[in-house]
Chain A
Amino acid sequence: MNDTAQNPSGISRREFLVRAAKAATTIAVSGYAAHWIRNRDEHQPARAEEPGFSFPSFLVPGTEGRLSIITGPNRRRTLNAALATMGGMGTFIQPGDRVLLKVNAAFALPPSLSATSHPDLVSELVRLCLDAGAARVVVTDYPINDATACFHLTGIARAAEQAGAQVVIPREADFRPATLAGGRLIRNWPVLARPFDGITKLIGVAPVKDHNRSGASMALKNWYGLLGGRRNIFHQEIHEIICELAMMIRPTLVVLDGTETMMRNGPTGGSLSDLKPTHTMIVGTDPVAADAFGATLLGRKAADLPFITKAVVAGAGTANFELLNPIRISTNG
């Protein structure tokens, strides 16, 4: 048999080899092209072996362990009183800072139900940041369901924008995979990353709420809104994931709003009768300590909430808030 010999199908050996070579070349070129397209976009999730996104520490050196507990019914007053005890917002925000305000906008519910960050608090924080010289304030959260409605109906979008902030409603391209060193759950998991581009300070602002699964939703649980993907799978290990978030996120400041505490039926609530006027604003740089005090507004102890215990063991903060010598002030009206 030679190269020109005809087989029963009428294709010569040479022709077969030429066609096969063309086919292989086509596949190889297509494959390489697909590989190049897939990897050229920096916003595509990283491959398993790549380091991925990580949050820097936003804590201002020298402000560790600050905690103020201010009582009073007016959110703006208690917030300002709390910051005044710490030297004012200027202690945390310097001119030119780019600030991200991580709100809780998880549900499309009216602000009166206290299931989300209150718009008065959001607008006041934005104003204080800008007055302190912040170049930009970004307000964001990832509520999953109908984010636009969540930001709109909670009053957060309007409050933030009127105060001069930019509201970022997350899109697919805003997420990048992150891995927490030493973490078991946050491994190559998509987190809300793009809004953090260029950000120099991070402030978390959350209400004090009962939570059906974790026992309480406060400053630490608020970071849950930075997770993308099918994050509900973490509900089975809710205390562990909150602990890992506590390890991953080191904010500049947290503002825990216990003006109206959702005592039951959380985290959504739904009835004004789920709320109790506890009239307390907690502001600090240790989210674990803030949550430990917040638990008392719910009639619980820090030890009742395993995520706090885990966060302490992980070195994310202290549950013994009295060790921080919190400043307590009562405001009138």
Chain B
Amino acid sequence: MSLLVLLALIALGMWFHQQQSALSPAVTAWDEAGVSAAKQPSVAAEADDAGLGHLQPDGYAVMSPPEHFTPENLYEKINGRAELYLPAGFLSLQTIRFASRASPGEWFELFVYDMNTPLQAFAVYSSQRREDAVASDLTDFSYSTPNALFFAHGRFYVEILASSPSESVLAAMDTCARRFIVDTTERAGRIEELALFPPEGLVPDSVVLLIADGFGFEQFDYLFTATYESYGVAVQAFLTGRPTPGEAVALAAAYSEFLIDNGAVFQETNVSVPGALLYNLFGTYELVFSAGQFVAGVHEADSPEAAERMAAELYHRITRNR
């Protein structure tokens, strides 16, 4: 009899287990995602927002509670744009909105991305830089557009977006930005690689840092690119550092193989750069070399002469500054 009772209890337990295991994936997704986020104050309530509220400019009030996002939920705030930040080392995002007390319709939102390192902050800053931006004196890496301020400061990448491009709200944004810079213990980091690009012909603010998969080549991480306009043609130079010269040589060879695998044809060159390799890739020209611990070259030049000229200037600049 006791055995029967025991068996009944076991069967009951198994039934419960089966029922629980059969929960729809939709339910799981539902719970994890917090579809009910709308009825909660969201993650903002748990945020460490100590650094933002005090940035409130005179005449402005906090319009909505600060929000805090992590790599797990960044997409909730910026949707598909999260894919740009996450591979670049994103740690967190804090946001807050301030509205004018006099004109509540005038407001701005502050986005502070903690990218962990100055290099990574520069990467997301440089890859989104607007073409018609106006240089700003906020930091070494800063600009404005008619309705927004963008800058990198230490490990932070900051965006401040206005509801409308009025002079008063833009002035308040500038105040907020300067307070952030002064109050942040983080200090601007120097990016040594920028000095390795020859200044002659360099398009201002054209240097971009690609954190991963530069030119579609997966070994090209932390790749700096710069655009030049000289002799009437546009040319893109690039460089990336490796821990040792040996690794730089190996990476240059790997990139050459990558080019050949993708249809590039080797072409003789007399450029005065030791070990330089020139390729014709469907009508554009790629040139790659190593100099010390750097791999550098020219990408998608219109002619072999343009590639060679740029490569020579880049090589001499790198070797002089090494």
A pairs with B? yes
> Which of B141-149, B207-215, B254-262 makes up part of the contact surface?
B141-149
* Complex partner residue of B38 from A28, A171, A232, CB under 8 angstroms: A171
The yes or no answer to A31 lying at the interface (CB within 8 A) is yes
The yes or no answer to A297 lying at the interface (CB within 8 A) is no
Interchain CB contact under 8 A, A17 and B37: no
Interchain CB contact under 8 A, B80 and A235: yes
Interchain CB contact under 8 A, A189 and B42: no
A146-B67, A273-B145 known; A238 and B165 CB under 8 Å? no
A16-B2, A28-B12 known; A273 and B30 CB under 8 Å? no
* Complex partner residue of B19 from A35, A45, A148, CB under 8 angstroms: A35
Complex-state Cα separation, A229 to B29, whole angstroms: 5
Interchain CB contact under 8 A, A45 and B83: no
Chain B 2-28 interface 0/1 with A at a Cβ cutoff of 8 Å (1 = within): 100100110010011001001011110
Complex-state Cα separation, A150 to B225, whole angstroms: 37
Chain B's nearest CB lies how many Å from the CB of A12?
12
> Which of A93-101, A105-113, A251-259 makes up part of the contact surface?
A105-113
Contacts of A106 in B (CB 8 A): 79
A45-B30, A229-B33 known; A149 and B16 CB under 8 Å? no
> Which of B127-135, B241-249, B270-278, B287-295 makes up part of the contact surface?
B127-135
Interchain CB contact under 8 A, B130 and A145: no
Complex-state Cα separation, A110 to B63, whole angstroms: 14
Contacts of B130 in A (CB 8 A): 264-265, 271, 273-274
The yes or no answer to A228 lying at the interface (CB within 8 A) is yes
> Which of B50-58, B156-164, B173-181 makes up part of the contact surface?
B156-164
Interchain CB contact under 8 A, A238 and B76: no
Chain A's nearest CB lies how many Å from the CB of B137?
19
Complex-state Cα separation, A109 to B165, whole angstroms: 13
Chain B's nearest CB lies how many Å from the CB of A285?
27
Interchain CB contact under 8 A, A228 and B30: yes
Smallest CB gap from B32: residue in A: A230
Contacts of B67 in A (CB 8 A): 145-146
Interchain CB contact under 8 A, A107 and B79: yes
Complex-state Cα separation, A230 to B77, whole angstroms: 14
Chain B 282-318 interface 0/1 with A at a Cβ cutoff of 8 Å (1 = within): 0000000000000000000000000000000000000
The yes or no answer to B1 lying at the interface (CB within 8 A) is yes
Interchain CB contact under 8 A, A24 and B8: yes
The yes or no answer to B78 lying at the interface (CB within 8 A) is yes
Chain A's nearest CB lies how many Å from the CB of B61?
16
The yes or no answer to A86 lying at the interface (CB within 8 A) is no
Contacts of B47 in A (CB 8 A): none
The yes or no answer to A329 lying at the interface (CB within 8 A) is no
Interchain CB contact under 8 A, B161 and A109: yes
* Complex partner residue of A17 from B1, B15, B29, CB under 8 angstroms: B1
A47-B24, A235-B80 known; A112 and B36 CB under 8 Å? no
The yes or no answer to A119 lying at the interface (CB within 8 A) is no
Interchain CB contact under 8 A, B30 and A235: no
Chain A's nearest CB lies how many Å from the CB of B134?
10
Contacts of B150 in A (CB 8 A): 271
Complex-state Cα separation, A188 to B27, whole angstroms: 9
Complex-state Cα separation, A319 to B79, whole angstroms: 26
Complex-state Cα separation, A187 to B75, whole angstroms: 22
* Complex partner residue of B33 from A46, A112, A231, A238, CB under 8 angstroms: A231
Interchain CB contact under 8 A, B24 and A177: yes
Interface residues of B in 61-81 (CB under 8 A from A): 64, 67, 75-81
Contacts of B64 in A (CB 8 A): 146, 149
Complex-state Cα separation, A16 to B36, whole angstroms: 47
Known: A110-B163, A153-B163. 8 other contacts (CB 8 A): A31-B15, A145-B42, A146-B67, A172-B35, A175-B30, A188-B25, A232-B76, A265-B128
A-B pairs with the 6 shortest C-beta distances?
A229-B29, A177-B26, A213-B80, A145-B76, A230-B33, A232-B75
22 A-B contacts (beta carbon < 8 Å): A13-B2, A16-B2, A20-B9, A24-B12, A31-B15, A31-B16, A45-B27, A45-B30, A46-B24, A109-B109, A110-B163, A145-B67, A145-B76, A146-B38, A171-B39, A172-B35, A172-B36, A235-B83, A271-B146, A271-B148, A271-B150, A273-B132
